[in-house]
Structure 1
Amino acid sequence: MTKGKINVTTENIFPIIKKFLYSDHEIFLRELISNAVDATQKLKTLASVGDFKGELGDLTIRVDVNKKKKTITVTDAGIGMTAEEVEKYINQIAFSSAEDFMEKYKNESNAIIGHFGLGFYSSFMISDKVEINTLSWQEEAKGVAWSCDGSPEFTLDETDNKERGTSITLHIDSDSKEFLEEAKISELLDKFCKFLPVEIAFGKVKEWKDGKEVKTDKDNIINETKPLWTLPPSEVKDEDYNEFYRKLYPVGDDPLFNIHLNVDYPFTLTGILYFPRIKNNIEIQKNKIQLYSNQVFVTDSVEDIVPEFLTLLHGVLDSPDIPLNVSRSYLQSDSNVKKISSHITKKVADRLEEIFKNDREQFEKKWDDLKLFIVYGMMSDEKFHDRAEKFALLKNIDGKYFTLKEYEELIKENQTDKNKTLVYLYATDRAEQFSYIEAAKAKGYDVLLMDGQLDTHFVNHLEPKLKESRFARVDSDIVEKLIDKDEARESKLTSEQQADLTPVFQSQLPGMEMSYFVSYESLSEADQPVMITQSEFMRRMKDMQEMSGQASMYGNMPDSYNLVVNANHPLVSKISEQTEKKLGKKLEDLRG
């Protein structure tokens, strides 16, 4: 027996591993099985180049839980290790054997996962003792048994083991008993390992017989070794994409369409991204993209790898060029991550533009489901905005669709005001703003329907980008002032009559949290006698405050409205006459 101390540069590294290196203790299973996959892939590589001439045999990786003994064992039939390799790769913490192997076989070993470094030592997060039994693939190699109880001391023994490969047994500590439950391990295997490239067996297949569930002799293989994203796009049919989507997201509608990514230069990236049907509630849709590294699950929080708006997409990304187990600040500054992010944004824009150009009718039918994603992208990513200007659509109140350029052409003659500003009229609620919409249409104006979750923000985003243009909601002013053409009309009420009428109208208005300003406009007799409007500025400020969920430093903004009186309407003239009579009678009574 050999005894020794693990070669570490940090004294007492195990508490650091337990508490800080991996924030999620569940990760231990991913790390151990990833190492087992590495060992298996290395053996295949050695066989393919002729260095290993023996029988590969059954390469299934096996996971076993023994609740009585309080152990979890992961076994592979890969390359195994000699005593020297155990000394090099296990006793010298943070030296990754995958990196060493990659250097020697870099032209053949493209399926080596690597990147995990301290992966093996994650097992000490849940264990008070770890044992390794291993036999190298090399001829005349001797079996090796290694054991460590979580202190820097270890033992190393020679064994008569005849089975090639490595078996790692974890003795689970008292704080981690949940990992001895089969259901918990099944959950973790499904989360981390369901697409790994080597078959993984956990227990036996169960079936119903004579009214009860019994185990068969057949291995329960928990993973799909060749997931759809690893296949060439030319070999995949539409129904295959939809079936794979349903595997990833069993609950929900089918996606609108997808993008199959397959890049090998200047970085490696594969994956399938799906466009889901998004009609509202952005936050619910986020974090549905699963990130893998050579088919090893890493995370479903990809906001540091792709632009925020792309987190609304669903699907899978797989890249060995994205560093794992590192800080967010590192990810945000990593050059490969930036390149991958830019590439995905470009491919998404390419796909949308392709569909728009090739089948605009279908694109318009899907617009209501795509709108939130595209609008969010335009607002949050300048490069995407520049691309999306070609296919982003505006929908008018009649259900017709226009690109930004098409709509500008449609309204520029009739909806330009006296200051040569192009006015985009819009409504946010067809029913509530019906009379205002009809008044605008009676003038020959076109009205956009902007009733989406982000449309208030989108209006603010678009306005400065459109030359000499502004947006105005149809109920923000009387129609004559929405697009002021400087068409003067004489008022039938004098300024004195207007002053006398103001308190009459104010007396009929509700107080409470609302304030009203009474004004008079010289409209036609056919127009409505009275209209209530809210200025575009005031309404936008209120909308922005409500969407942010926060009050300003002065508290909530009060509701302020304009009561616009049509000075030329017969009903208003009649009220004015009655008011004059009442005032006259009051004066007579005072004189008497």
Structure 2
Amino acid sequence: MSQTHEFQAEVKQVLDIVIHSLYTDREIFIRELVSNAADAMEKMRLTQLTEKDIFDAAAELQISITTDEAARTLTIADTGIGMTRAELVENLGTIAHSGSKAFAAALKNAGKQNDAQLIGQFGVGFYSAFMVADKVEVHTHSWRNEGEHLVWTSDGASSYTIDESVDQKRGCKIVLHLKEDAADFAKQHTVKQIIEKHSNFVSFPLLLNGERVNTVEALWLKSKDGITDEQYNEFYKFTAHAFDDPSYRLHFQAESPIAINALLFTPTQNMESFGMGQMEPGVALYCKKVLIDPKPKKLLPEWMRFVRGVIDSEDLPLNISRESMQDSALVRKIGDVVVKRLIKHLDKEASDDAKKYNEFYASFSRFFKEGVATDHTNRDSIAKLLRFESSMTQTGETVGLADYVKRMTSEQKAIYYQVAPSRAAIESGPYLEAFKAKGIEVLYMFETIDEYVVSSLNKFDDKDLKSVNAHDIDLGDSDAEGEALPEAETTTLCDWIKERLTASVDTVRPGKRLVGSPALVLTPEGEMTPQMRQMMKALGKDGGMPGPKVVFEINPRHNLVKGLSKLHLTDPETAGLISEQILDNALLSAGLLDEPQRIIERTQKLMEKLAAS
């Protein structure tokens, strides 16, 4: 018996919102209908446990999707619980029947910012079908034997009809007669891409034109004990669209403070290092195996963009379209739990297999350094993952900050480091001499970004991080061999050099930390460091920037300094050239020499004087 029903006025209003305003991407309708089908079959699966008298009992629980380009139709069928005539009226005849009038009134009175919070209370995903279809048929038969063969039909405008349908199997078969501008949804490859993107992990077999599409399991919901390495690797490659194997993986479930199932991977290859541009977030957010956002930007901090995998939380409060999360604080809480777990996991892996971690760190160190500089919440934990070469490691070997602290000398007050382009540049320079003589380890940092890292971190394990070229380091008296200039002569020489080089130096003083070098320069407090100057220069922002004024330390034990002390009294012009040369050599070693050409010109003058004498 055919029946025609009118939609209520407020229901029409809600339907118009769903079709024209609610969803930002029309392809979402497939996700909604597949999710509804999966829910119907889950109810059927539970019903089978308690009921014996079931219609079409032999029907396998599965979802079948059929495309027909010629007819411009898309059919989504399930073998779920189905609906009776009364349930068709209740579930499809009134949108969110329990409160559609209140919903419409609230939506009308609410500001635009509150729409998402309101609509999240009502389940109207089925009506997304009308975004792409000008007619929708729902053929159904209830699981009850006495149920009717029925078809619900509507154009989504003003009314719907319920009629008899011949030989309908148990469950629902939704036939969408697509609009002209939605003809792509009748193409198999289009539908397959959408299913793989949004609905690949539904719990039941999902067939597209007779071929199963969802062949990869939702491993994040399974026990770790039953999953092989091969299955994990296959899952990683599928979800990350990757060709390499993962370097590390983290699979965990958490119940408090929020229910989370997560399966995360770190790649072997850093695509950013190949000039591929900045990676996009790679951890997809799911709710009960249904994709919410494939690339959520605020779930994990930006420095973790290299991580791949899945986070699933059934506690997520979603809006009606599942396209955005209502409670951003809750999303941040999920992210906080995951970030802390992953950092802790990597720290343990680094401890268990230092060689493997060093290989991984060599490719992904930039991300951890970025994290220290930008992620204030997790800065101290991320710092444990940093690795550097040092004065006590061989080339290519590294040490972490925690291990550095463990082997600090009893008198040592700080963690010392030097930033320079290479190991050779550090070890051939003057700054390391006193530290090596006293058995104090110095970390070697080879990237300009390291300057930002240590300035952001500032401390580790309550120990200051201090550059070896800081002006206020006091390592005590030098144990260097050789007789030094008398104190009075040293003071006279320092005063003369200061007067001669007043445009370039802030202070001239004898240096305690020098062993085998004649001099070094230090950056006074408040002055830009060598690395900062290099960065400004690289960015083209050094225009008009004055040359550095440095603290100039000389070594009273060095023969060159002793000779200069005598020469400045007898031949001040030559002594002046030599003092300028010593300064420029020290500036060059510190990375502060802006005009290296002047060394060549001065060397020419000195050679001419030597040849004439």
TM-score under structure 2 normalisation?
A: 0.72
Q: 1:511 corresponds to which residue?
A: none
Q: 2:115 corresponds to which residue?
A: none
What is the CA–CA distance in structure 2 between the aligned matches of 1:128 and 1:394, rounded to whole Å?
64
Q: 2:96 corresponds to which residue?
A: 94
Q: State whether residues 135 and 161 of structure 1, in contact with CA within 8 Å, keep that contact through their aligned partners in structure 2.
A: no
Query: Over residues 234-287 of structure 1, what are the superposed CA-to-partner deviations in whole Å (9 max), with x where a residue is unaligned?
Result: 112223322322222343432222111234567543231112347685983441
Q: Would you say 1:333 and 2:333 are equivalent positions?
A: no
Q: State whether residues 201 and 216 of structure 2, in contact with CA within 8 Å, keep that contact through their aligned partners in structure 1.
A: yes
- From the superposition, tell whether residues 401 and 89 of structure 1 become closer, same or farther in structure 2 (CA, over 3 Å): same
Q: State whether residues 18 and 122 of structure 1, in contact with CA within 8 Å, keep that contact through their aligned partners in structure 2.
A: yes
Aligned counterparts, 1:237-256, within 5 A:
237-256=228-247
- From the superposition, tell whether residues 264 and 251 of structure 1 become closer, same or farther in structure 2 (CA, over 3 Å): same
- From the superposition, tell whether residues 582 and 542 of structure 1 become closer, same or farther in structure 2 (CA, over 3 Å): closer
What is the CA–CA distance in structure 1 between the aligned matches of 2:398 and 2:236, rounded to whole Å?
30
- From the superposition, tell whether residues 279 and 425 of structure 1 become closer, same or farther in structure 2 (CA, over 3 Å): farther
Q: State whether residues 11 and 94 of structure 2, in contact with CA within 8 Å, keep that contact through their aligned partners in structure 1.
A: no
Query: Over residues 62-110 of structure 1, what are the superposed CA-to-partner deviations in whole Å (9 max), with x where a residue is unaligned?
Result: 222222222222122222222211211112223599xxxxxxxxxxxxx
Q: Which residue, out of 233, 236, 239, partners 2:227?
A: 236
The DSSP-based 3-state class of the residue aligned with 1:320 is: coil
Structure 1 residue 341, shift from structure 2 partner: 3.6
Q: 2:315 corresponds to which residue?
A: 321
What is the CA–CA distance in structure 2 between the aligned matches of 1:20 and 1:541, rounded to whole Å?
52
* Larger relative strand fraction: 1
Q: State whether residues 19 and 130 of structure 2, in contact with CA within 8 Å, keep that contact through their aligned partners in structure 1.
A: yes
Structure 1 residue 338, shift from structure 2 partner: 5.5
Q: State whether residues 318 and 326 of structure 2, in contact with CA within 8 Å, keep that contact through their aligned partners in structure 1.
A: no
The DSSP-based 3-state class of the residue aligned with 1:123 is: helix
What is the CA–CA distance in structure 1 between the aligned matches of 2:139 and 2:434, rounded to whole Å?
85
Structure 1 residue 517, shift from structure 2 partner: 5.4
- From the superposition, tell whether residues 117 and 537 of structure 1 become closer, same or farther in structure 2 (CA, over 3 Å): farther
- From the superposition, tell whether residues 378 and 96 of structure 1 become closer, same or farther in structure 2 (CA, over 3 Å): farther
- From the superposition, tell whether residues 171 and 558 of structure 1 become closer, same or farther in structure 2 (CA, over 3 Å): farther
The DSSP-based 3-state class of the residue aligned with 1:561 is: coil
Q: Which moved more, 1:70-79 or 1:297-306?
A: 297-306
What is the CA–CA distance in structure 2 between the aligned matches of 1:306 and 1:371, rounded to whole Å?
18
Q: Which residue, out of 151, 174, 179, partners 2:157?
A: 151
Q: Which residue, out of 401, 404, 410, partners 1:407?
A: 404
What is the CA–CA distance in structure 1 between the aligned matches of 2:328 and 2:95, rounded to whole Å?
27
Q: 1:61 corresponds to which residue?
A: 63
What is the CA–CA distance in structure 2 between the aligned matches of 1:356 and 1:124, rounded to whole Å?
53
What is the CA–CA distance in structure 2 between the aligned matches of 1:543 and 1:277, rounded to whole Å?
34
Q: 1:107 corresponds to which residue?
A: none
Q: 2:432 corresponds to which residue?
A: 440
Q: Would you say 1:222 and 2:187 are equivalent positions?
A: no
What is the CA–CA distance in structure 2 between the aligned matches of 1:576 and 1:170, rounded to whole Å?
101
Aligned residues: 526
Q: State whether residues 441 and 447 of structure 1, in contact with CA within 8 Å, keep that contact through their aligned partners in structure 2.
A: no
What is the CA–CA distance in structure 1 between the aligned matches of 2:91 and 2:365, rounded to whole Å?
52
**What is the aligned-residue RMSD (CA, Å)?**
4.3
What percentage of residue pairs aligned between the two structures are identical?
24
Q: Would you say 1:162 and 2:154 are equivalent positions?
A: no
What is the CA–CA distance in structure 2 between the aligned matches of 1:135 and 1:447, rounded to whole Å?
77
Structure 1 residue 558, shift from structure 2 partner: 3.1
Q: 1:270 corresponds to which residue?
A: 261
- Give 1:165's aligned amino acid: G
- Give 1:184's aligned amino acid: T
Q: 1:100 corresponds to which residue?
A: none
Q: Which moved more, 1:272-281 or 1:157-166?
A: 272-281
Query: Over residues 287-309 of structure 1, what are the superposed CA-to-partner deviations in whole Å (9 max), with x where a residue is unaligned?
Result: 11122222222212234444555
Structure 1 residue 52, shift from structure 2 partner: 5.1
Q: 1:212 corresponds to which residue?
A: none
Q: 1:214 corresponds to which residue?
A: none
- From the superposition, tell whether residues 534 and 143 of structure 1 become closer, same or farther in structure 2 (CA, over 3 Å): farther
What is the CA–CA distance in structure 1 between the aligned matches of 2:182 and 2:537, rounded to whole Å?
43
Q: Which moved more, 1:323-332 or 1:38-47?
A: 323-332
- Give 1:288's aligned amino acid: G
Aligned counterparts, 1:91-130, within 5 A:
91-94=93-96, 117-130=123-136
Structure 1 gaps, min length 5:
98-113, 204-218, 417-421, 507-515, 584-592
Structure 2 gaps, min length 5:
100-119, 479-483, 577-613
Aligned counterparts, 1:166-565, within 5 A:
166-203=172-209, 219-224=210-215, 226-263=217-254, 267-277=258-268, 281=272, 284-306=278-300, 308-325=302-319, 330-334=326-330, 337=331, 340-360=334-354, 362-369=356-363, 371-376=365-370, 384-385=378-379, 393-396=387-390, 398=393, 399-412=396-409, 416=413, 422=414, 424-430=416-422, 433-434=425-426, 437=429, 439-441=431-433, 443-444=435-436, 445-451=440-446, 455-464=450-459, 467=462, 469-472=464-467, 476=469, 483=474, 485=476, 490-491=490-491, 493=493, 495=495, 498-500=498-500, 520-522=508-510, 526-528=516-518, 538-539=528-529, 542=532, 558=545, 560-562=547-549
- From the superposition, tell whether residues 92 and 572 of structure 1 become closer, same or farther in structure 2 (CA, over 3 Å): farther
What is the CA–CA distance in structure 2 between the aligned matches of 1:576 and 1:17, rounded to whole Å?
93
What is the CA–CA distance in structure 1 between the aligned matches of 2:222 and 2:170, rounded to whole Å?
31
What is the CA–CA distance in structure 1 between the aligned matches of 2:298 and 2:53, rounded to whole Å?
41
Q: 1:79 corresponds to which residue?
A: 81
- From the superposition, tell whether residues 76 and 540 of structure 1 become closer, same or farther in structure 2 (CA, over 3 Å): farther
TM-score under structure 1 normalisation?
A: 0.74
What is the CA–CA distance in structure 2 between the aligned matches of 1:19 and 1:156, rounded to whole Å?
25
Structure 1 residue 166, shift from structure 2 partner: 1.4
